Every structure is written in C-alpha cells, then in structure tokens.
Amino acid sequence: MNEQSIKISVITFCQYHQIDPDFVYALQESGLLDLQKEKEELYLMNQQIDILEKYIRMHYELGINIEGLEVITRLLIQMEEMQRELDLLRRRL
C-alpha cells in the first residue's frame, strides 16, 4: 500500500523543532533534501521528515556541519550498496 503524500511547510516544521529554516534550505542546496515549492513557499514531503530529523540530530546535537552530513550520507549509501551486493553474493553460493 502506498503511503499518502503529506506535505508540511518548512517554516511550520522549523518552528515546531525550534531550528533555523536556513539549515533546511542549506540541506536542500547541498542536495540532501528535496523540498517542493508551491506558491512561493517550500514544503517537506512526509518521506523527507525522518531524514531531516536525522540531520537535525547530527547537526545540532553532534555539531556536524553540512559538508560532514554530505560525507556521512554518501558513505551510508555506499555501505547499503555494498551490503546488498554482499547479500546477493551470499545467495549465489
């Protein structure tokens, strides 16, 4: 079953989480988030919320900057790809 697409305003999300919207905009500029623009306002789709909350924790609690988040994300993607490849190779044996 497909999860219904729900959108939330970036401003509303940032007010709720008490963070600076510029942080979210910087994540979008770096390609880490995909925001949707509608009537001059940016929105987060529900699929992006968990990802953004992970970035918030890493940035605000651990002090990791945007460049660090980019590196971490790239490494996690590579690890997932390697894990899938390893699983495939194990099934072939």
pLDDT digits (tens, 9 = 90+) for 3-28: 567 899 999 999 999 999 999 999 99
pTM of the model: 0.83
Does position 2 have pLDDT exceeding 90, yes or no? no
- Give me the CATH number covering residue 68: 1.10.1660
Does position 1 have pLDDT exceeding 70, yes or no? no
2 belongs to a structural domain: no
43 belongs to a structural domain: yes
Structure tokens at 2: 């497909």
80 belongs to a structural domain: yes
Structure tokens at 33: 């988030």
Instruction: Tokens 């600076």: give the residue.
Output: 20
Structure tokens at 91: 């099934």
Alpha-carbon gap, residue 22 to 19, rounded angstroms: 9
26 belongs to a structural domain: yes
User: What's the structural domain count of the chain?
Assistant: 1
Q: How far is CA 39 from CA 24, 43, 47, 51, 52, in A?
A: 18, 10, 21, 24, 22
Does position 71 have pLDDT exceeding 70, yes or no? yes
The boundaries of the domain holding residue 41 are 7-92
Structure tokens at 41: 């306002």
